[in-house]
Amino acid sequence: MTTVSFDASKLDKFVHDNELDEMQALVNAADTELRQGTGAGSAFRDWLTLPDDYDQAEFTRIKAAAAKIRSDSKVLVTIGIGGSYLGAKMAVDFLHDTFFNYLPDEQRQDPQVLFAGNSLSPSYVYDLIHLIGDRDFSINVISKSGTTTEPSIAFRIFKAKLIEKYGKTTANQRIYVTTDKQRGALKQEAASEGYETFIIPDGIGGRYSVLSAVGLLPIAVSGADIDQLMAGARDAMNDYTNPDLTKNEAYQYAAYRNILYRKGFTTELLENYEPNLQYFAEWWKQLMGESEGKDQKGIYPSSANFSTDLHSLGQYIQEGLRNLMETVIFIDKPNHEVAIPKTDGNLDGLQYLEDRTMHFANTKAFQGVTLAHTDGNVPNMSVHIPDQTPHTLGYLIYFFEVAVGISGYLNGINPFNQPGVEAYKTNMFALLGKPGFETLGTELNKRL
């Protein structure tokens, strides 16, 4: 059952008929590197088969822990940064109504799933503590090492709040840890304190980890069906095994974006027409940016939320520097529909839309924008999904994961490492005065 449809029909003026065929040999080679593990970073490909060979016993424990949190907490504070939070955040937003986390407790069936440890903002943490107030809450802290600065600070703060509210013994029963199987500071503390622990798989990098315990626990706490999420990913895994570009739309997407990149379209905008897809784009930006942005090359991933951003970025996209390509995720059937009502008179000029729906207007906006931007020499691709169900999301996640794996190898880079991420951390540690970084700290302070 295919739940994602890729449309490259608007690329006719940018890509010649023979160009996709010419990519087939390169795609075959990239597929071999990915599937047989002959490419760089092969130790981090376990996400490829994760939808079919995940730990069933741990999966059952995740659902049991989620049920407990749902029964005893009004809030789950999910602590992590990068891939340790973006996947869960985008999934919670994608799978629920726009204002899911804004509803008061008396209108909720499931806890609020809120996030911390993804910045160093004191105001954010203070405001989150104020929002929780005296309500019951639990923590899910997600970190491979347990020493990453942002989540480690947040964990200290919210752990202290738990102990203050419940006492140490009960607080420990409200702390859920997702970390390395064998090593690291967080693993050591979890073993010492008796926290319930879930595993970050060794062979899966953070940006590919949403379908592991990293994402599944907070997603399940929100009330979403993680069985269907995994089923959707499994269907995509089975659908995207054939490297034939006439049969594999995820590979098509990878090939087309690389054809365009070689023609100078170096920035890709991922766009949507539903506000609760905003964080899907944030997840996608990490997936694409960390996978491809290295060795002084790679497509720069950016995003826009339409039709909102058409009133701010629309001018630049239409007539600015011609280095942009666009990929739109469009939902064919939104969660809800609203009719445009009739009124007396026609002062607002909308009489011609009476008895139409907002989705009709949204669809025509998407179609009109696509034609305008194509006319303005911006290549446009689209990914159509039927709905916002867990099955569809699992399928969509896998679509982009396998596409970027192929895309990275097409561009001759390792799509599974992120060496540049460490540069800022070294400077930050030195400026914070971390032991062992004193000499560098002195040098950096002279430059400030």
Q: pLDDT for 70-100, tens place per residue?
A: 999 999 999 999 988 999 999 999 999 999 9
Tell me, yes or no, if 342 is annotated catalytic: no
Mean pLDDT for the stretch of residues 411-423: 84
Q: Using alpha carbons, select from 93, 97, 62, 68 the residue that is nearest to residue 284.
A: 93
Mean pLDDT for the stretch of residues 382-404: 97
* CATH 1.10.10.10 assigned to 47-224: no
Residue 3 — very low, low, confident or very high, per pLDDT cuts 50/70/90?
A: confident
Each residue of 419-434: b (16+ CB within 10 Å) or e? eeeeeeeeeebbeeee
- Annotated catalytic residue within 168, 333, 364, 425: 425
Average pLDDT of the chain to the nearest whole number? 94
Superfamily name with CATH number, domain 5-39+230-411:
Glucose-6-phosphate isomerase like protein; domain 1 (3.40.50.10490)
Tell me, yes or no, if 446 is annotated catalytic: no
pLDDT tens digit sequence for 328-353? 999 999 999 999 999 988 998 999 99
- Provide the strand spans (E) within 124-232: 137-142, 175-179, 196-199
C-alpha span between 176 and 193 (Å, rounded): 11
**SS3 for 144?**
coil
C-alpha span between 381 and 203 (Å, rounded): 31
By the 10 Å C-beta count (0-12 exposed, 13-18 middle, 19+ buried), 156 is classed as exposed
Helix 86-95 and helix 213-221: axis angle, to 10°? 30
**Edge to edge, what strands does the sheet with 324-331 contain?**
5-7, 380-385, 324-331, 267-272, 300-305
pLDDT of residue 104: 92
- Annotated catalytic residue within 196, 290, 292, 326: 290
Mean pLDDT for the stretch of residues 265-287: 97
The distance from CA 421 to its chain's CA centroid, rounded to whole angstroms, is 17
Max intra-chain CA distance, the chain: 75
Radius of gyration of the chain (CA): 23
Range(s) within the chain of domains with CATH label 3.40.50.10490? 5-39+230-411, 47-224
pLDDT tens digit sequence for 243-270? 999 999 999 999 999 999 999 999 999 9
Residue 110 has pLDDT above 90, yes or no: yes
pLDDT of residue 1: 60
149 and 112 in contact (C-beta within 8 Å)? no
C-alpha span between 52 and 167 (Å, rounded): 41
Residue 362 — very low, low, confident or very high, per pLDDT cuts 50/70/90?
A: very high
